[in-house]
């Protein structure tokens, strides 16, 4: 049986609250789970110690059994020092798209032409 350590959503509309659970990969997000191993409350401040609570002993047990954490849970485990998250690098993430680059180039060319025509008039 393949297991995941993932988030199960609770709380009301616009007030999310998550349980960190170990579940079979085939079960639905908020459905049946094997064990609750922590909580995550995104409504609290980032520096609040109650924002993420983990049962480290059980998490280590499930990782040893082969449970794979999801990306979000792996971030929590990395912050707690339980598991390491590999660094990701996407150097193109901050760059504008192709069409935006073309528009910027055409604007720069038009501005250069306007500046050149002003220089010729003077």
C-alpha distances out from residue 122 to 101, 113, 115, 117, Å: 32, 15, 11, 9
What tokens were used for 71? 């990306």
Strand pairing of 68-69 and 3-12? parallel
What is the residue-level pLDDT of the chain in tens, covering all 122 positions? 799 999 999 999 999 999 999 999 999 888 899 999 999 999 999 999 999 999 999 999 999 999 999 999 999 999 999 999 888 888 888 888 899 999 999 999 999 888 888 766 65
Look at residue 122 in the predicted model and tell me its pLDDT: 56
What tokens were used for 74? 């792996």
Cα 91–chain centre separation: 17
The domain ranges of the chain are 3-80
Element (H, E) at 34: none
CB-CB contact of 43 with 14 (8 Å): no
For domain 3-80, say whether CATH 3.30.1320.10 is its number. yes
Report the SS3 class of residue 94: coil
Among 68, 72, 55, 59, CA closest to 9: 72
């Amino acid at each position: 049986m393949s297991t995941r350590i993932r988030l199960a959503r609770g709380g009301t509309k616009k007030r999310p609250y998550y349980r960190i659970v170990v579940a079979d990969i085939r079960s639905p997000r908020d459905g049946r789970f094997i064990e609750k191993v922590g909580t995550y409350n995104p409504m609290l401040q980032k520096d609040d110690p109650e924002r993420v609570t983990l049962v480290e002993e059980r998490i280590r047990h499930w990782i040893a059994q082969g449970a794979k954490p999801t990306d979000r849970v792996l971030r929590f485990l990395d912050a707690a020092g339980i598991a390491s998250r590999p660094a990701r690098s996407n150097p193109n993430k901050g760059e504008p798209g192709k069409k935006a680059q073309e528009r910027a180039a055409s604007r720069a060319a038009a501005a250069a032409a306007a500046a050149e025509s002003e220089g010729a008039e003077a």
